[in-house]
Amino acid sequence: MVAVSAIALTCGGCALSTPYAGEGPHNMQVRTTTDAGEPLAATRAWLAVQRVTSDCRGEVEGEIYLRGPVDSLHLPVGRLSNLVFKFRTSSLLSQSSGMTSYSTLIRPREGHAYEATVDYRSGLFTVDLIEIAPQRASPRKLLRRDIANCATD
């Protein structure tokens, strides 16, 4: 029974519905660290990339596991994407798991690189996104933008 519970909690619902297959040179790196902060508990993180429709809704293009320490992917240049970072923390002790998410819009520019730092620690998490110019000038921190306001971008 314990083994069945363990499998259900750690792997239940963890199969990616649509693996992300962004084709092109990788222009984004994601640095991920997770620590559930409890014994016999673990936090998984993954990223859903959504294309943004004209009425500011997100349509899933695909998802990628953030296995860490560094994952990379290609984001379409010149158009809006909605990045949805998802966290799922499972605990064997409580036989439960919880899932939450954080999203932000991004419009990648030609020749620029992007770096996301994702840190989940004991129920608190941060997602920081920076843009690095081609000549490696000082990186620019990107502020979070909500998909509901996509028309103003």
Partner 1 sequence: MWAAGNRGKTFASLRKFTSIGIKFRLSCGESRLEYWGMTMRGRATRACPPALHACLHRAGESLAAARKRRSQITAPEWLAFLAAASVLLAGCAATTPEDFRQQVTSGAFGSAEKLDVDRSLRDVAAVFRERSSACLQVRTKRYGGPAVRYTMQVWDYTPTVVATDTRVELHLQAKYDGLTLYDQGKNGAYVLLAQATPLDARRTHLEVWTLAPRSDTLRDAVMGWAKGSFAGCPDLS
Give me the residues that bind partner 1 (CB under 8 A), please. Answer: 1, 4-5, 8-9, 12-13, 87, 89, 94-102, 104, 119-120, 122-127, 144, 146
**In the complex, what is the shortest distance from the CB of residue 71 to partner 1, in angstroms, rounded to a whole number?**
20
**CB of 109 closer than 8 Å to CB of 90:** no
Q: Which is nearer to partner 1, 27 or 82 (CB)?
A: 82
Nearer to partner 1, 27 or 129 (CB): 129
Q: Min. distance of Cβ 118 from partner 1 in angstroms?
A: 10
Q: Minimum distance from CB of 26 to partner 1 (Å)? A: 26
Beta carbons of 100 and 86 less than 8 angstroms apart: yes
3-state helix, strand, coil in the chain (%, to 5): 10, 50, 40
Q: Report in angstroms how near the CB of residue 13 gets to partner 1 at its nearest.
A: 7
Tell me which residue of 52, 27, 44, 37 sits closest to 104, measured CA to CA.
52
Q: Please, which residue, 45 or 75, has the CB nearer to partner 1?
A: 45
Looking at the Cβ atoms of 13 and 24, the one nearer to partner 1 is 13
Cβ–Cβ contacts within 10 Å for residue 93, how many?
9
What is the rounded CA–CA span in Å between residue 130 and residue 128?
Answer: 7
